[in-house]
Amino acid sequence: MALPSPEQIKTQIEAGVPGAAVTVIANGSPSAQRSLLLDHAHARSVAEFLRDHAEWRLDYCSLMTGVDWLDAETSQKVKVKKVVQAADGSESEQEVEEVRKTKTPGYLEAVYHLFSMEKKHGPVVLRMRTTDRGDGARLPSLTPVWRSAEFQEREAFDLYGIVFEGHPDLRRILMWDGFVDYPMRKDYVPPVDEVPVVVPQRPGSAGTPSEVHR
Amino acid sequence: MADDLKELKIELSKNGIFTTTLEELYNWGRKNSVWPLTFGLACCAIEMIATTMARYDLARFGAEVFRPSPRQADLIIVSGTVTKKMAPQVVRLYNQMPEPKYVIAMGACAISGGPFRDGYNVLKGIDRYIPVDVHIPGCPPRPEALIHAFMTLQKKIEEQALAGDARPRHLHAELPSEFPVPAFGEHDLEPPMNRDVFTAEPGNPLKVIQ
């Protein structure tokens, strides 16, 4: 049996897990693969619901990854009616174009791809978003539901700084323990450890040794 | 050796009398028994392994026996990407080798960081911490390139003087044979390079940029 559409999955989740808020996220790319955005409070029970669902049996989490979304600023042109004073002092109402800027605060996102080994179908894509990129970068861990997410959640913690609450062993996995940065974040700046290299003169060539800064 | 002595030596050899010097004999023995350390880091190591097998047969040059312990090795071939997490271990292995010891940096990553140079996790060349004798460019270098580097090293060993100011590092009592092992810092390795090794000063016996 093929999987139902994301909207149908959403309806069934909301019926099966009371209080769960699920949003279907559109995808503008050619694959148009839509995903389900989960709320933090019910994410764990929604995950268990999907894993144990008799028809879907999404028993395999093939991939878990992090995404960094920086603070975004979108500008929109809006036509506004405004009172404009002309040069001779008379006032008249005119339609004026105005640029309105909306700021979307950045957040970190965790994406899970679910398949069913038993029913041989998938994927169902789950997303969770943190409230911000600072202290609020916390998400519930889905490792207790799918064990295969353990190392990948550790990797997302290591490289993006997402703290997974309920993870059994949340330590850095690639970088060393004393490391404090999150290198896969878009605003990460690697340490400057380049040095000027003096290129010596070739025998027989004129001029002084040139200094090359890489 | 002075030119007239060399001519005399050639003249004697034409008459069936072979002469040598202690330096020549000693270096001849050393250059033909360079034992590398069994040590590989990435894809370059696959080329290094191929170089030791029957087709390229590095054993022809006296390097048939890769030693599994740094205490028995004369040469460390840094074959592959040195990540920042691995760099202290590479320096520690080098420190554990007895003198005289040599380093071949094999491939783009080992000499400069290669395609990963701008990344956060790769060391920008092992010559930041240990003195490299021969650099091999390539990604990865072919076995022929490694053999060429090995022959270059043999030539270097052959030309080393046993006495005088031009003698190599291991015959200078005051020069170090071990180098500080970098520590894991908060943002990078501490220090990010060893200025005594990684320098462009001419005349420095530890000079690596040439």
Extents of the domains making up chain A = 6-69+107-213, 71-105
Q: What is the DSSP letter of B188?
A: S
pLDDT at A201: 52
Over residues A134-174, the pLDDT tens digits come to 888 999 999 999 999 999 999 999 999 999 999 999 999 99
pLDDT at A206: 46
Per-residue pLDDT band at B94 (split at 50, 70, 90): very high
* Among A180, A181, A198, beta carbon nearest to B200: A198
Q: What is the DSSP letter of B106?
A: E
Per-residue pLDDT band at B165 (split at 50, 70, 90): confident
Which is nearest to A3 in space by CA: A34, A29, A28? A34
Residues of A in contact with B121 (CB under 8 A): 174-175, 183
pLDDT at B102: 94
The whole-angstrom separation of Cα A32 and Cα A140 is 27
Question: What b/e sequence results for B135-164 when a residue is b if at least 16 CB atoms lie within 10 Å of its CB, and e otherwise?
Answer: bbebebbebebbbebbeebbeebeebeeee
Largest CA distance in chain A: 84
Question: What average pLDDT is seen over chain B?
Answer: 88
Tell me if the bond preceding B168 is cis, omega within 30° of 0: no
Residues 6+ apart with CB under 8 A from B194: B128, B129, B179, B180, B182
Q: What value does the mean pLDDT take over residues A7-32?
A: 91
Residues A183, A190: contact at Cβ < 8 Å? yes
* Interchain pair A180, B210: CB under 8 A: no
Number of neighbouring beta carbons within 10 Å of residue A190: 13
Residue B204 in this model has a pLDDT that exceeds 60:
no
ipTM over 0.85: no
Between A205 and B197, residue with greater pLDDT: B197
pLDDT at B173: 83
Report pTM.
0.81
Q: What value does the mean pLDDT take over residues B9-19?
A: 90
Residue A207 in this model has a pLDDT that exceeds 90:
no
Q: What is the DSSP string of A105-129?
A: --EEEEEEEEEETTTTEEEEEEEEE
The whole-angstrom separation of Cα A143 and Cα A198 is 52
Residues of B in contact with A183 (CB under 8 A): 120-121
The whole-angstrom separation of Cα A154 and Cα A70 is 21
Per-residue pLDDT band at B206 (split at 50, 70, 90): very low
Amino acid at B111: I
CATH architecture of the domain with range A6-69+107-213: 2-Layer Sandwich (3.30)
* Among B85, B120, B193, beta carbon nearest to A195: B193
Which tokens go with A193?
A: 């450890």
Which tokens go with A67?
A: 């995404």
Q: Is A93 on the interface with B (CB under 8 A)?
A: no
* Among A174, A176, A191, beta carbon nearest to B184: A176
Which is nearest to B192 in space by CA: A114, A193, A187, A134? A193
The whole-angstrom separation of Cα A58 and Cα A124 is 8
Number of neighbouring beta carbons within 10 Å of residue B189: 21
pLDDT at A149: 93
pLDDT at B162: 87
Q: What value does the mean pLDDT take over residues B79-98?
A: 94
